[in-house]
Amino acid sequence: MEYQFQNTTKNIDALKLSKDKWLRLENNPEFAKEVHENACKYSEVICSIKKNSYCVLENILDTDLINNLRNLAIENIKSNLNGMVVRDHSREIHSEKMEIRYRTLNSDDNLDTAKKITNGISIKDPLISLPPVLKIIENKIIQSIVTGYYESIPQLTFAKVRISFNNSMGPKDTQFWHSDPGSYRVLKALIYLNDVEEEGGPFEIISGSHINKFDGWDKITRHTHQDLQKKYDSKLFKKLTANVGDVIFADATAFHRGNVPIKQNRLILILNFCLHNEYGLPYEKIKISKEYFQQAKGINKVILDQLNIIK
């Protein structure tokens, strides 16, 4: 399977985002005052994201919550390896098009054999299989920043809990430089489930590249480090290390990548927020239980209102 990148930096994409900004507020007018207050309260954070492409906030989340999520994630991965379909990075060759191949693991596979095939494993339906993820989405600071950033109420468009292996396979897939094609602006919240230092596979971003693209940048889906070094000053390449409890916010339309872990496996929760369904990639809508959604309240429920609600 192949995918060709879709450029979403045009006037029509900016216009769609602006229209959906007001539409989301118009449909939920009772939260308009709160949203604009959030934009003022967290203006420094929001300004950093809009200027530098990112901001790191320390000690936002309860460490016990994150440690519990990490333990549940590892247990989930280990117990579901048999029959799991993973990206077979050992057979993929990346060029101007992103080639995707898969392999099904069997009963003989464990984490050690899996890491010889793939650079990492993502957990299926994390909002259902890992309840602590919902607690993180409920976090008031996270919700205040994402609503203040958009001056509206975005929807959750993507959620992933993933283990990235410290193997010798080298960079694959999103470990190459890329820009997310889902919208004119896509805001990511990245939460490491273990402390990540420079050799732990940190998220890396080119500061300001969400508003400073070069001619022909959208002709390929993945960029080499050498090519981007020719386009941007070395001071703009930022490896974002962080500890358990910290939250990284990043504009995903900037060039970014996940570095290959060297010392240990890296576990991460990634949440995307956007004002409309992301386009350009064949993502399935995130699943959420009907029971939880019916009990959700306030802005939290609006953020989740476009998900695939199942019994």
Domain that holds residue 198: 2-310
The pLDDT tens digits for 132-141 are 999 999 999 9
State the pLDDT at residue 259. 95
Higher-pLDDT residue of 42 and 169 is 42
CA distances from 166 to 66, 265, 266, 305 (A): 21, 5, 8, 37
Mean pLDDT of 156-169: 91
Using the predicted structure, report yes or no on whether residue 1 has a pLDDT greater than 50: no
C-alpha to C-alpha distance for 20 and 152, rounded to whole angstroms: 9
State the pLDDT at residue 283. 67
Mean pLDDT of the chain: 93
DSSP, residue by residue, 109-141: --HHHHTTT-SEEEPSSHHHH-THHHHHHT-HH
Q: Indicate if the alpha-carbon torsion angle 76, 133, 195, 206 is positive or negative.
A: positive
Using the predicted structure, report yes or no on whether residue 229 has a pLDDT greater than 50: yes
Q: How confident is the model at residue 97 (pLDDT cuts 50, 70, 90)?
A: low
Using the predicted structure, report yes or no on whether residue 185 has a pLDDT greater than 90: yes
State the pLDDT at residue 146. 98
CA atoms within 13 A on the CB side of 274: 24
How many structural domains are present in the chain? 1
Q: Is the distance from CB of 14 to CB of 8 less than 8 angstroms?
A: no
State the pLDDT at residue 5. 61
Residues with Cβ within 8 Å of 196's Cβ and at least 6 positions away in sequence, in order, are 202, 241, 242, 243, 266
State phi, psi for 275 to the nearest 5 degrees.
-85, -5
Mean pLDDT of 24-30: 97
Using the predicted structure, report yes or no on whether residue 30 has a pLDDT greater than 60: yes
State the pLDDT at residue 219. 85
Mean pLDDT of 274-281: 86
State the pLDDT at residue 94. 58
Mean pLDDT of 257-272: 96
Using the predicted structure, report yes or no on whether residue 98 has a pLDDT greater than 90: no
Using the predicted structure, report yes or no on whether residue 2 has a pLDDT greater than 50: no
Q: Is the distance from CB of 181 to CB of 281 less than 8 angstroms?
A: yes
Alpha-carbon 304 to chain mean position: 16
CA atoms within 13 A on the CB side of 135: 13
State the pLDDT at residue 76. 97
Relative to beta strand 287-289, strand 54-57 is unpaired
Beta bridge partners of residue 120, listed in sequence order: 164
| Strand ordering across the sheet containing 256-258 | 237-240, 203-206, 256-258
Please give the structure tokens belonging to residue 41: 């309260």
Query: Taking the CB of residue 110, how many other CB atoms lie within 10 A of it?
Result: 12
User: Which CATH number belongs to the domain containing residue 62 in this structure?
Assistant: 2.60.120.620
